[in-house]
Amino acid sequence: MSARKRTAAQPQIAAATTTPEPRALGLRYDPDLNPTGRTLPGVPLRDLTAEELAALMAWLRRSITATGWWSPITGEEKTA
């Protein structure tokens, strides 16, 4: 019986499936700007990823911006 040859792509595929890529952050939550701990429906009081923001309805994204509790993440901060 002959052994099956491994291709160079196999280790890359294995690495991609076992090592998650860092998720980009969309907004950074600042609890000091929300001292009373008020909430918005369905929005966790923590940093929000771009993926999480995209899943929210437009009116809720506008509300998040209006509160001032979250600020956009720029530059090197984009990866967790």
Q: Which pLDDT does position 25 carry in this prediction? A: 74
Domain-by-domain residue ranges, the chain? 24-74
- pLDDT recorded at residue 6: 56
Q: Does position 44 have pLDDT exceeding 90, yes or no? A: yes
Instruction: Provide the H-helix boundaries in the chain.
Output: 9-18, 50-55, 58-67
Give the C-alpha separation, 62 to 80, whole Å: 24
Q: Which helix (H) or strand (E) holds 29?
A: strand 25-29
Q: What angle do CA 18, 46, 79 make, to 5 degrees?
A: 45
Q: Looking at the DSSP assignment, which residues form a beta bridge with residue 43?
A: 40
Scanning the structure block, which residue is given the tokens 């076992």?
A: 18
- Record the pTM: 0.63
Q: What percent of the chain is modeled with pLDDT above 90? A: 59
